[in-house]
Chains A and B, each alone.
Chain A
Amino acid sequence: MDVLDLARLQFAITTNLHFVFVALTLGLVPMVAIMQTRHTFTGRDRDELSTRFWGQIYLINYALGIVTGLVLEFQFGMNWSGLSHFAGDVFGAPLAIETVSAFFLESTFLGLWIFGWHILPKWVHLALIWLVALTAYVSAFWILTANSYLQNPVGSRVVDGRLLLDDFGLLITNPHMLTALPHVTGAAFMTASWLVIAVSALHLRRGHQVEFFTSCLRWGVLVAAGSGLLTLISGHVAPAHVEATQPDKLEGPMEPFLNSMLLIGDVLAVLALLVLLPMLLRNTLARARWFHPVLIALAPLPVVASALGWIVREMGRQPWLVYEHLTVAEGLSPHVSAPMVMVSLVVFTLVLGSLTLTNIVLILKAAARGPGDVLLGSKPVEPEPPSPVSISGEST
């Protein structure tokens, strides 16, 4: 493998990890916000418990999004300085705005939300999680704007061999972004909702916390049906825009990836809309224990489909880094050597790979333990005086 292959492989591994785990984050945070909103209005213990239970899973997963995101951000400069040199004036603007006006705020609000459990006024605490959700989607908007510029470089012109920003309005109304944002949003909600469905099915099958997980299952199915529809519709609008600017993208080597993604997406959306949704009547789905193993087995599929979709989008523009302006080979940093990129590839893959495995194990453990044993927002363990209502007593 030469230095170009190594640098591409490194970017592909990091970006795919980032994309699929951030999709879970993006899908879970509005669901957690809605659960907390219900709790704020109803005051019901069950709503607080579901906020804490899914909030904890959301937070465990959040770490992976941060670390892969930062590594990605610095990889641009380390391996792809040709890109920042040639297109940084345009491509850098949405990236800079994302870090300062979206992620900066998101992380700050999230820190305050985690700390603020039971000590902030409940409306302030509720506002914080909604601000986290809002800034997370603002972040997605800017990142997709940057990526869409690479797909379809609008709003800029070449001056002295470098791309300069010409029309910011065109940059943020790029059709590649406008079609991708609802599609990615739908995929994110699918990822999160099928996880909610699988975890609920796991507990219902065991007969644990039946009332709690029946309610979670209903939530999961409603979101899976809605997001399945959104993903399908936005996905069927996209090819027209793609073909207008990248005519060969969806044919040839990308076809198997595209078709596999479409198959998964179609099956999940149809299943949610035509089978699971009607089975919510009289809680048929919650009681159909024979069917629960199927629901559990389906949970990884949206993740696979997300990765496939991202592969089509990114590999489909090869050999271009900035479409029809800069090739991937030209984007490579001029002075980095193959051994250096090899070392960083091995280090990042080992570190991020082991974190990914830990993340998955911890999420599965937290999910399998159920809502009785959630740290986030739980009452402190005090030996004396013995508290009459401990959280485990409440929930089991």
Chain B
Amino acid sequence: MSVLWFVVFVTVLVGYLLLEGAVIGVGATLPLLGRSSQARGRIVSRIGPMMLLSEVWLVAIGGLLFGIYPYVEGEVLSALYPLVLALLTCWVVRDAGVWFRARGGTDHWRLGCDAMVCGGSLGLAASWSLVLGALFSGLSGSLVTPAGLLLIPAMAIAFATYGIGVSAHLLRVPESRELVRRHAWAGQMYPMAVLLAVAAVTALAPATSHLLAHTSSTNTLLVLTVFALPCYTLVVAVQWWGLRWMSRNFERAESTRRSFF
């Protein structure tokens, strides 16, 4: 049972990095992909609904940590305190930018929101690099590890390349499609997805035995298996279908109605 939930936990972590990594990547490259305010508006309106599907994976990570690894949850989050603070702040700033962009009528408002989306996404990429680096070093010594610092540019490039690929192939943004057509390196969506997944698994790997040794009681895992596991599979199925459907319908949607985002 503890192995089953470890596997589930890893899939949630990987799922988060793949889906939210796409939104972070698009956000971080927003000024590059959208040169005009109108173009950036279209990109934000397309990542808006997707963000609702992707960011809950982080909520699920937090919840599952509490449910499956309560001991490790407190240990890790309080040890990573400043990094978690930075991560959450960047995340709130990014979300506010996406959520509020279409609410104001002035150019300044929209520019400010674009800056929040881009800055928050870059901050998220940097925070995750440091978190993964610190996890990989087993939380011993300084939180800002050499591995973490090296990961920042590497992860930023991975997120950005992934984001460009996603905005071209999944969000079907015309400017990104043009960019990808001209520069083949920019559209590498799948290799970057694999890279992000490998980074997550690598960071978690040293902790495997520690996690397995501090799993919740069988009673708790049983309850989670009954109440949470079926819903998790349902979520994955609905999101899989939903993202494919959204991807195929952006043009039709935009010619039919304006977006909330």
Q: Are both chains from one complex?
A: yes
- Partner-B contacts on A (CB < 8 A): 56, 59-60, 63, 66-67, 69-71, 73-74, 76-85, 87-93, 95-105, 107-112, 114-115, 117-119, 164-166, 168, 333-336, 340, 343-344, 347-348, 351-352, 355, 358, 362, 365-366, 375-381
Choose, from B149-157, B190-198, B199-207, B216-224, the stretch at the interface: B216-224
A111 touches B53 (CB 8 A): yes
Nearest CB of chain A from residue B96's CB, rounded to whole Å = 6
- How many residue pairs link A and B with beta carbons under 8 A? The number is 240
How many of chain B's residues touch chain A, expressed as a range? Answer: 35 or more
User: How distant is the Cα of A111 from the Cα of B216 in the complex, in angstroms?
Assistant: 32
B105 → chain A closest CB, angstroms = 10
- A100: which of B64, B75, B99, B242 is its contact (CB, 8 Å)? B64
- C-alpha spacing A87/B73, complex, angstroms: 12
A84 touches B56 (CB 8 A): no
If A84-B66, A103-B59, A108-B242 touch, does A115 touch B231 (CB 8 Å cutoff)? no
B111 at interface by CB-CB < 8 Å: no
CB distance A76 to B217 under 8 Å?
Answer: no
- A56 and B260: CB pair below 8 A? yes
A83 to B74: give the CA distance in the assembly, Å: 8
Would you call A92 and B48 a contact (CB within 8 A)? no
Q: What are some 14 contacts across the A-B interface (CB < 8 A)?
A: A67-B91, A71-B92, A76-B66, A77-B74, A78-B84, A85-B74, A100-B232, A105-B238, A107-B55, A108-B242, A111-B53, A334-B78, A343-B82, A362-B103
How far apart sit A93 and B225, CA to CA, in the bound complex (Å)? 11
Shortest distance in angstroms between A318's beta carbon and chain B's nearest beta carbon? Answer: 21
Interface check B249, CB cutoff 8 A: yes
- The answer to whether A88 touches B59 (Cβ under 8 A) is no
Q: Are A108 and B238 in contact (CB under 8 A)?
A: yes
How many angstroms from the CA of A91 to the CA of B217 in the assembled complex?
12
Are B220 and A73 within 8 A (Cβ)?
Answer: no
* Contact in complex: A164, B52 (CB < 8 Å): no
Closest to A63 in B: B99
**Which among A81, A93, A99 is the interface contact of B60 at CB below 8 angstroms?**
A99
Cα(A60)–Cα(B91), bound, Å: 17
Asked whether A92 lies within 8 Å of B56 as measured between CB atoms, the reply is no
Residues of A within 8 A of B232 (CB): 100-101, 104
Contacts of A91 in B (CB 8 A): 66, 70
B258 touches A381 (CB 8 A): yes
User: Which of B66, B89, B92: most chain A Cβ within 10 A?
Assistant: B66
CA distance A379 to B256 in the complex (A): 6
B142 at the interface (CB under 8 A from A): no
Check if B32 is an interface residue, CB within 8 A of chain A.
no
Flag if A74 contacts B231 (CB, 8 Å): no
Task: Take A168-B223, A358-B96 as given contacts and tell me if A77 and B89 are in contact as well, using a CB distance cutoff of 8 Å.
Answer: no
> CB of B246 within 8 A of chain A?
yes
> A45 to nearest B CB, angstroms?
15
The docked-state distance in angstroms from the alpha carbon of A90 to that of B223 is 10
Complex alpha-carbon distance, A157 and B193, angstroms: 44
Question: A residues within 8 A CB of B179?
Answer: none
User: Given contacts A63-B95, A96-B67, A108-B52, is CB(A343)–CB(B219) below 8 Å?
Assistant: no
Contact status of A112 and B242, CB under 8 A, knowing A77-B66, A165-B219, A362-B103: yes
Known: A70-B88, A96-B68, A96-B224. A104 touches B60 (CB 8 A): yes
Nearest opposing residue in chain B for A171, CB measure: B223
Q: In the docked arrangement, what's the CA distance between A73 and B67, Å? A: 12
Closest 4 A-B residue pairs measured CB to CB? Answer: A88-B70, A96-B67, A81-B74, A99-B63
Tell which of A66, A107, A164 touches B53, judged by Cβ atoms closer than 8 Å: A107
